[in-house]
Each structure stands twice: as structure tokens, then as C-alpha cells.
Amino acid sequence: MKRTTIVLGCVLVAIAALASCAKEPAVKEGIKFTATINNLSKTQLVSDGSVGKVNWVAGDEITINGVAYVATPDADDATKATFTKKDEAAADPESVDGKYYAAYACTFDAANGEGVLAAEQAYAEGSLANAPMYAESTTTALSFKNICGLLEITLKGTDAVASVAVSADNLGMSGAFTVSDGQTAVVKDNGIKKVTLACGDGA
């Protein structure tokens, strides 16, 4: 009887030891990127309504070589932010020709060097959230630049506006584009000659 107790005790100790070793495998942390805003760009107007400085906002989304990332702004300077994958389970972006290509408020396919500017944008009060930006880098440090012009329209009156559309006679304003010298979006084949700002129930 005494011997049985000793054997049983050893078995229990062995089971406990095995259980302590059976931990879940560590999840590999994905690539993190840092991003700055170069001059006047997205995303949010400063509190006095001026456009001299704009900041990243928590949750802002960009794509890096097709993978979605979200922003955590720097506590001391919101023109800077750290970006982590929106879906932690997603694969890290693969560099294309040794570079990472990042886009905000538009899509960009690094493989063929083309993107798409939306023909319809959603209005957001006090925000430049529709201003497309682009960055390319051989490292995980990104410097975003506006690749489109910004048009400010002032409306007077009390009626709610459901949408505002701007069109051009000869030049594309949305649709497929390439980036010239990493600075400017060039709409292909004149693209869509119109862009609309949708204001939901009215603004």
C-alpha cells in the first residue's frame, strides 16, 4: 500500500510537469511601421479650424503593399504615429522591388504601380479624411505626402446639403492613377471626370 502511494505520487508530479510545459506557442509580433505627415496632409484639422497642422487620429487606416494597418498617434506629436496590422493574423506585407508602398484614402497596388481614387468620398466634419496620401520607403519609416490638390468649398445658407459634385471637361478627377515622382497622382486615360462628396442625411 505504501509503495502504491509513492508510485501514484510520481505519476501526478509527472503530469503536473507536462502540463506546465504545454503552453501555447508564442505569437510572432508582426512588422510595425512609423509614419509622419509631410507638410499639409490628412487627417484632422486643428482645434481652431486652421489647416496649418493636421494629425493622425487613432484608428486611421492605411494599406502597406495591400495589408491594412491602423494608427496609434504619438502622444507628444500626433503628426507621427505607429502603425500595426489591423488583422493580427494577416501575413506581413512583402516588399516589392525592395520597397514598401503605403496609401491613405485611396487604394494602391504595389505590384503594378497603380492605384484608384474613389469617385465618391464621405463627408466628415472638421476632417481632411478624404485627402489621398502616399508614401514609399525601403524601411519601415514612412513619410506621407498629399498626392492630390485640396478644394475648399464654402456654402452659405441654412439648407442641408446631401452632396457636392465637382467635374472637369477634359481631365480625370478620380479612377485609376499612377504616381509621378512619388509626389502627384496622375489619373490614367482621363479616368472619371467627376468626384462627389456624399454628406449622408445632409450637412
- Span 65-79, pLDDT tens digits: 999 999 999 999 888
Which of residues 164 and 182 earns the better pLDDT score?
164
Confidence bin at 17 (pLDDT 50/70/90): very low
Q: Is the pTM of this model over 0.75?
A: yes
Query: Taking 70 as the threshold, does the pLDDT of residue 19 lie above it?
Result: no
Q: What is the mean pLDDT of residues 144-171?
A: 89
Whole-number pLDDT of residue 127: 76
3-state DSSP of the chain? CHHHHHHHHHHHHHHHHHHHHCCCCCCCCCCCEEEEECCCCCCEECCCCCCCCEECCCCCEEEECCEEEEEEECCCCCCEEEEEECCCCCCCCCCECCEEEEEECCEEECCCCEEEECCEEECCCCECCCCCEEEEECCCEEEEEECCCCCCCCCCCCCCCCEEEEECCCCCCEEEEEEECCCEEEEHHHCECEEEEECCCCC
